[in-house]
Amino acid sequence: MLNPELLVALFALLFGLVIGSFLNVCICRLPRDESIVSPPSHCPVCAYQIRWYDNIPLASYLLLRGKCRGCGTHISLQYPLVELLNGLLTLAVFLRFGLSLTGIAMVFFCSALVVITFIDLEHQIIPDEISLPGIVIGFILSFFLTEPGWLNSLIGLLLGGGSLLVVAWTYHRLTGNEGMGGGDIKLLAMMGAFLGWKAVPFILFTSSLSGSVIGLSLMMVQRKDGKLAIPFGPYLALGALLYLFYGKLLIGWYLGLSGFSGVQ
């Protein structure tokens, strides 16, 4: 007989895969201001309505060999990638928080980050339909969660949105150009609402570091100048996930290297 914990972990993975299938709909339709409910999923080329047996996460893509059943058009690898990524994140949340209200909240949070990341990578926008409700939901949930608590959540959303607002305003005043979009500001506010104010400095540091390394590498490979537009949302999402799963460990490790001790 299978271990009950293994069964629950398997359910978490499958649940994440199913949610990932819906996230693909959001990623595809939100930038186009289309409904995520109607019409049903269909091929954008031949309008073939996708049947339930062609919409099984991961399995259908493999069985169809990545092609539409109706017209044979190649299906983007993004679809199984989003499903797999969300499935693994949901499993990771379960292993970290178990079956709890915090776990449910973090599954919602991670799924939102997946949608935001893929939309920002392709369209360089962060939809308000996710970030603004996310701020509200994160703050409301904080009243029912032991961490971060409503006060830390309130400070987090204000600090998250305020810090990037100051950076964007300063950059605009110094250069006369828009250096950061409002979507990034609202996204960090959402992260602060879910994770608390202590997460904000960590996310800013890790996202700036990873963004600088990857951005400079891309500019060197593509031989572009310093004006290459690189979306910041995915790096913020990476920083938030690192904090969610490894934040305390990494902060403790850093403080140890810095010579601090006894810090709780």
Show me where the domains of the chain are located. 1-99, 123-264
Which residues have C-beta within 8 Å of that of residue 215, sequence separation ≥ 6? Answer: 228, 230
pTM assigned to the model: 0.88
What local confidence, expressed as pLDDT, does residue 157 receive?
Answer: 94
Q: In the 8-state DSSP scheme, what is residue 224?
A: -
Rounded distance, CA 62 to CA 256, Å? Answer: 47
What local confidence, expressed as pLDDT, does residue 1 receive?
Answer: 58
Answer yes or no: are the C-beta atoms of 183 and 123 closer than 8 Å.
no
Please work out, in degrees rounded to the nearest 5, the angle formed at the alpha carbon of residue 25 by the alpha carbons of 65 and 190.
Answer: 130
Rounded distance, CA 150 to CA 156, Å? Answer: 10
Written as tens digits, the pLDDT of the chain (264 aa) is 567 778 888 999 999 999 999 999 999 999 999 888 888 887 777 877 888 788 889 999 898 888 888 888 898 999 999 999 999 999 999 999 988 999 999 999 999 999 999 999 999 999 999 999 999 999 999 999 988 899 999 999 999 988 888 877 776 677 766 666 788 999 999 999 999 999 999 999 999 999 888 877 777 776 655 555 678 899 999 999 999 999 888 887 777 765 555 444
Own/partner contacts of 246-252, CB < 8 Å, gap of 24 or more, are 247/199, 247/202, 250/202, 251/202
